[in-house]
Copies of this chain bind each other. A is one copy, B any other.
């Protein structure tokens, strides 16, 4: 229904609250498309105050996502979008805005300077705009891939959502520069796997591992550590699922949570509840590192496959558990109490298989290093055919979940399975990986690994802000490249990782020395990090290091635990030869692109429902 102009003009001229009112009474009409059949199983707060809430569902058949954005306090408009790593420039945006007269919804993009432009091809399609008691609800959809070069390609793994709030009407979309707005970023896995929920046992019991009503510190980042314990004599059980418990009102503050089991080697662990970096934290808590459960923002309940469960309790395992909660509090909110945690669902009727966790990727050693000022340097760790041949059962193992891990410079992680020198399938890939968002992810498809298979884990790093080489290691300024894969049946193989042969690295330092006038790595043997620190990073030394890592033999860690190797010769192993590679993921352009409207949709203004 079209409302006469003049009265609207008056309202618009009052700006501020007046415009807010004007837009809040904005209601549906729009392009005949039916609302999506299913509701929205996934939901995430976008801003730290939780005034913006995004829900969505995924259709893998139509390769489309339906989004429902709830805007609790609408002003003159809202931008929401996607960008490579959460930057506001070069972002792919859906924009709802008003020029004071009318309201519009359009598919837009921001350029390098943050200036907004309308897309020539409109791929965000508004289906409904509705006033609800909670706020304005926008329903819109978008295909995974649009093939508009200005659009983001929605892939598996992490997606960086950005948003911005328009405070005042704008005469045109092009008048908006995103740098002048209140904006923010949220990371989420949009393409959740479509796995069916396994049957749960009749004797299912639950146990809540929760923070004890703590006061969230008024600082941006807190990792809270809390030690709890299983009942004495708690026998062996299988965890078959777990889910987050987030204290109401704190949804936008609780960023991720993990439950660790402590080492069985110690009889007991001291009680503790406080920041993990506190000086008061007992040293011994560093031995509570065996992951039982992990959750991150946006994730749902985690289910073990029907034939497997994660063993805990019983002899040979510690009764002590450590809960770690990461609070992300950029508004420095004070006085908020929290009892968030994880609810474990477990059974005494042990399932057929124990689940296990195996560590793939690179050994934590400085011989694997990234030169400074690299935009995308790749390091690769191998789990060789020789190791899987020795350690895996004849029928193989089945990987059903994966948690990727790097330190601060990690940008992409991928693990690929190869058989007979040919890449066969991707175990897990995240081309928009962020070290700030490390969740355990169910795989869309269980990957079976047979004896003799090779697992290749590659991490891409950006060291644009580093002055010296970044070497491998445990330190936060050092790097890791790890994929913790969750699989069954559990085997003795806990760790299958590699690093370049140290002798070949010394040959590299020698040649750096020969090719450069400056003296590097001379006689009194210095440490590898010192050697790397003294390399002059010209194009030659960079490229030769890259060539070395792609050629030199490797040292394998094919270990039962972090210290115990399987028997065999693991040094100077040949680099696995891959004769056939998988193709990179590429967008499928949807057919019938011509159907999308050529310009923004005018959002008709009618009477409110609520």
Contact = CB atoms under 8 A, between A and B. Distances in A.
Contacts of A514: 507, 510-511
B544 A547 contact: yes
Contact of A507 (B515, B550, B552): B515
Contacts of A539: 547, 550-551
B543 A546 contact: yes
A543 B538 contact: no
B540 A543 contact: no
A350 interface: no
A144 B543 CA distance: 37
A539 B577 CA distance: 11
Nearest to A550: B539
Interface of A is mostly: helix
Nearest to A547: B543
Contact of A540 (B538, B551, B594): B551
Contacts of A547: 539-540, 543-544, 547
B511 A540 contact: no
Contacts of A544: 543-544, 547
Interface string A537-560: 011100110111011100000000
Interface in A227-273: none
A504 interface: yes
A511 B548 CA distance: 12
Contacts of A515: 504, 507, 551-552
A538 B551 contact: yes
Contacts of A594: 594
Interface in A27-86: none
A511 B509 CA distance: 11
A420 to B, nearest CB: 20
A546 B540 CA distance: 9
Nearest to A546: B543
A501 to B, nearest CB: 11
Contacts of A540: 547-548, 550-552
A165 to B, nearest CB: 34
Interface in A481-519: 504, 507, 510-511, 514-515
Nearest to A504: B515
Residue from the set A544, A546, A594 with the largest chain B CB neighbour count within 10 Å: A544
Q: Which of A511, A539, A547 counts the most chain B CB atoms within 10 A? A: A547
A511 B551 CA distance: 14
A550 to B, nearest CB: 6
Contacts of A510: 514
Contacts of A504: 515
A500 to B, nearest CB: 12
Nearest to A147: B149
Contacts of A543: 543-544, 546-547, 550-551
A547 B511 CA distance: 13
Closest 4 CB pairs of A and B: A540-B551, A543-B547, A511-B511, A540-B547
24 contacts: A504-B515, A507-B515, A510-B514, A511-B511, A511-B514, A515-B551, A515-B552, A538-B551, A539-B547, A539-B550, A539-B551, A540-B547, A540-B550, A540-B551, A540-B552, A543-B543, A543-B544, A543-B546, A543-B547, A543-B551, A544-B544, A544-B547, A547-B547, A594-B594
Given A540-B552, A543-B543, 7 more contacts: A507-B514, A510-B514, A515-B551, A540-B550, A543-B547, A543-B550, A544-B544
